[in-house]
Chains A and B, each alone.
Chain A
Amino acid sequence: MAMTATSAETAHHTSRSHRTGLALGKVLIYAALIFWAFICLFPIFWTVTTTFKTANNVTQGHILPFIDFWPDWKGLRSLGLSPDTLFEVSTVRDEFLKRFLNSVYASVGASLLAIVIGSIAAYGLCRFDYRFGWMKNRDISFFFLSQLILPPVVLAMPFLVLYKNLVLLDTLTGLILIYTLMVLPIVIWIMRDQFETIPVELEQAALVDGCSVWGAFFRIVLPIALPGMVAAFILSVILCWNEYFFAALLTSSNAKTLPVMVASQTGSQGISWWSMAAISTAAILPLVLIGIFLERYIVKGLTAGAVK
């Protein structure tokens, strides 16, 4: 009897200390997650709130709107996007929209081109056996992927000279071409994974049913690989949208994109934080919307074939 009582007590104590341990662990994990969420979200919060600050609010380090400072339309007014300037003519706003559209054209254009070329390349690497000198399929795939390892700055001089000679400097075409090159490895990577999850018997059935190789690709393989294509497209758009280095290097007045415009918000009075923040918010907004609404498709496309 005594034995049972003691063991019951011990069991009770162990379970209580066990539960405390579990609770403490949970608290620590949540604390770490909240801390990290704060680190990730604070810059965005700062950017959005700074849009509505004036010069002395920024220099005095006021952070919380309505508590530290009163929001002002100054930032948006300098862009021609405040309620009072929205319906008036504004050269700044026109310029902003021009840069915004440049970003859209460059990102979407490059991504579409990369999807077309990359999908066909990935399909070829998946279904056919190639040989270029000593390189077989695996080597060719690695060659494509290795472009991602290359630091872009290495290509700065060559591309500057090349584009000057081809008269592609400060053109959207030039920008689209280089962005296509930039995202092609990722597209090929994602699409190759996609195509590998599609059984080759489906295409064989299509060949027997009356399709040519291209017919099988367009009618059977592509519709099935669509989630991956959408994911690759979205990822490419995001990468191209944020690209600063080549945009700053290869464009000046015509083809300048949003990231370059953000960086150039300096005047004789110092950095105009509020207009920089305003433009940044406008630059981030499309990506945030894409992320929120299309996250499902991105995950689905990237994890296709991960679980059999």
Chain B
Amino acid sequence: MASVDVVEVRKAYGSHAVIHGVSLEIEDGEFVILVGPSGCGKSTLLRMVAGLEPITSGDIRIDGRVVNDLPPKDRDIAMVFQTYALYPHKTVAQNMGFALKMRGTPKPEIDARVKAAAEILNLGAYLTRYPRQLSGGQRQRVAMGRAIVRDPKVFLFDEPLSNLDAKLRVQMRAEIKELQQRLDTTTVYVTHDQVEAMTMADRIVVLHDGHVEQIGAPLELYDRPANTFVAGFIGSPAMNLLKGTIKGDSVVTEDGIKLPINGAPPGSDGRPVRFGIRPEHLTLGGTIPAVITVVEPTGSETQVFAKLGEQRIVGVFRDRISGRAGEALPVGIDPRLVHLFDQETGLRLN
């Protein structure tokens, strides 16, 4: 069993608190992704799990054992850094075998394990090369190889794909996911890219300003975001969040446009809300009077930036749309796909 438990962990630099009481339970073999905008504390949290950053208060347990005061080398973890952090004066083989060498593993075993890891990652031909002779993707693989050779209890990834180009990122995403499933090692992965989070995670932890906004499976976060932050963060393009007031069984915007909802929560008549609808859930040919601002065809779909009264709205449609700025584009909304959030607190209402 290699579970990771984060219990009410807080982190402050002097009087400036950056992590406010985060709690999280990660099961053995689970792939959990910490996601959030820059500065939300996800990397700091990961580094506290690794032991590279001291904890101000709270506990971190690996496999049930409190590791707060243990140095990184005694936590049986392996980490892949954003900048790969390969030792430039060592060959690929030496990089991958370094941790085993530190542990006093006999040389034949080191060689065998390095070779096995190299085969999994297609690095067999590069074992005698130095990091400076490798491409970005190859260096990324060596960094991963260095981690898997250790056979640790937990893998920690700190934005490992951020330095790669878009195409390579897509390819490596699949490789990392496949590797994790194959090795079945508990993994904590940090990224700011919500697409990476959605495609790779068993569960996602959305962080914002040192607080946990929501924890759940990817589709859970997509279908039922707990607040406006998660709603706007997960999904691309971001969810439309229109301001309005509940009146009867619809939400009315300031311009008087009526938006359908699937039954108002009891006692909420007159309440100012945020009306949430994902761009991909808008349909063509409805009664809601949007006016086109910009049409962006991407080939497989068309993104339309429009205005609903004075508020901006984005729609994504499979159909090809040829519209000019200023033209009317009536759209439809299925009330069952609507998300309602309180305008002040941002919390979900329906």
Q: Are A204 and B88 in contact (CB under 8 A)?
A: no
| Shortest distance from the beta carbon of B52 to any chain A beta carbon, whole Å | 5
With a cutoff of 8 Å between Cβ atoms, the chain B residues found around residue A215 in the complex are 102
Q: Does B247 contact A (CB under 8 A)?
A: no
Q: Are B89 and A223 in contact (CB under 8 A)?
A: yes
Q: Are B78 and A208 in contact (CB under 8 A)?
A: yes
With a cutoff of 8 Å between Cβ atoms, the chain A residues found around residue B82 in the complex are 201
Known contacts being A207-B73, A210-B103, is A202 close to B85, with CB within 8 Å?
yes
Contact string against A for B residues 297-327, beta-carbon threshold 8 Å, 1 for contact and 0 otherwise: 0000000000000000000000000000000
A204 to B50, CA, bound (A): 10
Q: Does B79 contact A (CB under 8 A)?
A: yes
Known contacts being A209-B98, A210-B102, A210-B103, is A199 close to B83, with CB within 8 Å?
yes
With a cutoff of 8 Å between Cβ atoms, the chain A residues found around residue B79 in the complex are 204-205, 208
A72 to B52, CA, bound (A): 70
Q: Does A302 contact B (CB under 8 A)?
A: no
Q: A208-B79, A209-B99, A211-B102 are in contact. List 19 more A-B contacts (CB 8 A).
A: A201-B81, A201-B83, A201-B85, A202-B85, A204-B72, A205-B81, A205-B85, A205-B86, A205-B87, A207-B51, A207-B71, A208-B51, A208-B99, A209-B98, A209-B146, A210-B102, A211-B73, A212-B73, A224-B88
| Shortest distance from the beta carbon of B151 to any chain A beta carbon, whole Å | 13
Contact string against B for A residues 190-223, beta-carbon threshold 8 Å, 1 for contact and 0 otherwise: 0000000001011011111111100100001001
Q: Does B77 contact A (CB under 8 A)?
A: yes
With a cutoff of 8 Å between Cβ atoms, the chain B residues found around residue A199 in the complex are 83, 85
Q: Are A204 and B99 in contact (CB under 8 A)?
A: no
From B85, B86, B99, A210 is in contact (CB under 8 Å) with B99
| Shortest distance from the beta carbon of B177 to any chain A beta carbon, whole Å | 22
Q: List 30 A-B contacts (CB under 8 A).
A: A199-B83, A201-B81, A201-B82, A202-B87, A204-B50, A204-B52, A204-B85, A205-B79, A205-B81, A205-B87, A206-B87, A206-B98, A207-B51, A207-B71, A207-B72, A208-B51, A208-B52, A208-B79, A209-B99, A209-B102, A209-B146, A210-B73, A210-B98, A210-B102, A212-B71, A212-B73, A215-B102, A223-B89, A224-B88, A224-B89
Q: Are B73 and A208 in contact (CB under 8 A)?
A: yes
| Shortest distance from the beta carbon of A136 to any chain B beta carbon, whole Å | 13
Known contacts being A210-B73, A211-B73, is A204 close to B81, with CB within 8 Å?
yes
**DSSP majority for the A interface?**
helix
| Shortest distance from the beta carbon of A195 to any chain B beta carbon, whole Å | 14
With a cutoff of 8 Å between Cβ atoms, the chain A residues found around residue B77 in the complex are 208
Q: How large is the interface on B (under 10, 10 to 19, 20 to 34, 35 or more residues)?
A: 20 to 34
With a cutoff of 8 Å between Cβ atoms, the chain A residues found around residue B99 in the complex are 208-210
With a cutoff of 8 Å between Cβ atoms, the chain B residues found around residue A223 in the complex are 89
Contact string against B for A residues 31-44, beta-carbon threshold 8 Å, 1 for contact and 0 otherwise: 00000000000000
Q: How large is the interface on A (under 10, 10 to 19, 20 to 34, 35 or more residues)?
A: 10 to 19
With a cutoff of 8 Å between Cβ atoms, the chain A residues found around residue B102 in the complex are 209-211, 215
Residues of chain B touching chain A, judged by Cβ–Cβ distance below 8 Å, are: 50-52, 71-73, 77-79, 81-83, 85-89, 98-99, 102-103, 146, 150
| Shortest distance from the beta carbon of B85 to any chain A beta carbon, whole Å | 4
Residues of chain A touching chain B, judged by Cβ–Cβ distance below 8 Å, are: 199, 201-202, 204-212, 215, 220, 223-224
With a cutoff of 8 Å between Cβ atoms, the chain A residues found around residue B87 in the complex are 202, 205-206, 220
| Shortest distance from the beta carbon of B2 to any chain A beta carbon, whole Å | 16
Find the B residue at minimum CB distance from A207.
B72
With a cutoff of 8 Å between Cβ atoms, the chain A residues found around residue B86 in the complex are 205
Question: Chain A CB within 10 Å — which of B51, B52, B78 has the most?
Answer: B52
Question: Chain B CB within 10 Å — which of A201, A205, A210, A211 has the most?
Answer: A205
Find the A residue at minimum CB distance from B98.
A209
| Shortest distance from the beta carbon of B44 to any chain A beta carbon, whole Å | 13
Find the A residue at minimum CB distance from B87.
A220
A215 to B104, CA, bound (A): 14
Nearest 3 pairs of A and B residues by beta carbon: A210-B102, A201-B85, A209-B99
Question: Chain A CB within 10 Å — which of B51, B72, B82, B83 has the most?
Answer: B72
Question: Chain B CB within 10 Å — which of A201, A210, A224 has the most?
Answer: A210
With a cutoff of 8 Å between Cβ atoms, the chain A residues found around residue B51 in the complex are 207-208
| Shortest distance from the beta carbon of B317 to any chain A beta carbon, whole Å | 44
A210 to B77, CA, bound (A): 10
Find the B residue at minimum CB distance from A204.
B52
Find the B residue at minimum CB distance from A205.
B85
With a cutoff of 8 Å between Cβ atoms, the chain A residues found around residue B89 in the complex are 223-224
A224 to B50, CA, bound (A): 25
From A202, A207, A224, B52 is in contact (CB under 8 Å) with A207
Find the B residue at minimum CB distance from A213.
B71
A224 to B83, CA, bound (A): 17
A202 to B87, CA, bound (A): 7
With a cutoff of 8 Å between Cβ atoms, the chain A residues found around residue B83 in the complex are 199, 201
With a cutoff of 8 Å between Cβ atoms, the chain A residues found around residue B103 in the complex are 210
From B52, B73, B88, A209 is in contact (CB under 8 Å) with B73
| Shortest distance from the beta carbon of A218 to any chain B beta carbon, whole Å | 12
A208 to B52, CA, bound (A): 8
With a cutoff of 8 Å between Cβ atoms, the chain A residues found around residue B50 in the complex are 204, 208
Question: Chain B CB within 10 Å — which of A209, A215, A223 has the most?
Answer: A209
| Shortest distance from the beta carbon of A104 to any chain B beta carbon, whole Å | 30
A201 to B81, CA, bound (A): 7
| Shortest distance from the beta carbon of B145 to any chain A beta carbon, whole Å | 13
| Shortest distance from the beta carbon of B16 to any chain A beta carbon, whole Å | 15
A148 to B99, CA, bound (A): 42
With a cutoff of 8 Å between Cβ atoms, the chain B residues found around residue A210 in the complex are 73, 98-99, 102-103
Find the A residue at minimum CB distance from B81.
A201
With a cutoff of 8 Å between Cβ atoms, the chain A residues found around residue B72 in the complex are 204, 207-208
| Shortest distance from the beta carbon of A93 to any chain B beta carbon, whole Å | 45
Find the A residue at minimum CB distance from B158.
A201
With a cutoff of 8 Å between Cβ atoms, the chain B residues found around residue A209 in the complex are 73, 98-99, 102, 146, 150
